[in-house]
Amino acid sequence: MELAVESLETPALTKAQLADLLFDQIGLNKRESKDMIDAFFDLVTDSLVEGTDVRISGFGNFQIRTKAARPGRNPRTGEPVAIEARRVVTFHASPKLKDQVQALVVGSEAG
């Protein structure tokens, strides 16, 4: 699938494009495709909100990490600011995904 660049930003694969791929390649109707993509992301989101890691074989792991409160500094004024404790989502690519991405980079340098 070729992605159209609609801005100066790095092109991104959207949920709408994923739904279109399901429609084109699997034959689901557009509504079913959209519902399936939404259900998938809702499931991933709900799992992460509950504190459950999400592991997708061959792709990677989404994990919740708790960051402690810490002192920070306003970059404009230099004034000290307290940064509150928070939970963040981290993503770690699987070795298989890393190898595929690296092969693309190495392949483009050789040509």
Which pLDDT tens digits describe the chain residue by residue (111 residues)?
455 545 556 789 999 999 999 999 988 899 999 999 999 999 999 999 999 999 999 999 999 999 999 999 999 999 999 999 999 999 999 999 999 999 877 666 655
Q: Is 6 contained in some domain?
A: no
CA distances from 77 to 31, 51, 56, 67, 83 (A): 50, 36, 43, 24, 16
Shared domain for 70 and 25, answered yes or no, is no
Number of domains composing the chain: 2
Q: Are 97 and 60 in contact (CB under 8 A)?
A: yes
Q: Could you give the residue ranges of the DSSP H alpha helices within the chain? A: 15-25, 30-49, 95-110
Shared domain for 43 and 70, answered yes or no, is no
Q: Is 3 contained in some domain?
A: no
Shared domain for 34 and 16, answered yes or no, is yes
Shared domain for 38 and 65, answered yes or no, is no
Which pLDDT value is given to residue 5? 47
Shared domain for 36 and 70, answered yes or no, is no
Containing domain of residue 107, as a range?
60-111
Q: Are 54 and 41 in contact (CB under 8 A)?
A: no
Which pLDDT value is given to residue 11? 86
User: CA-to-CA distance for 66 and 30, rounded, in angstroms?
Assistant: 38
Q: Is 2 contained in some domain?
A: no
- The predicted model scores a pTM of 0.73
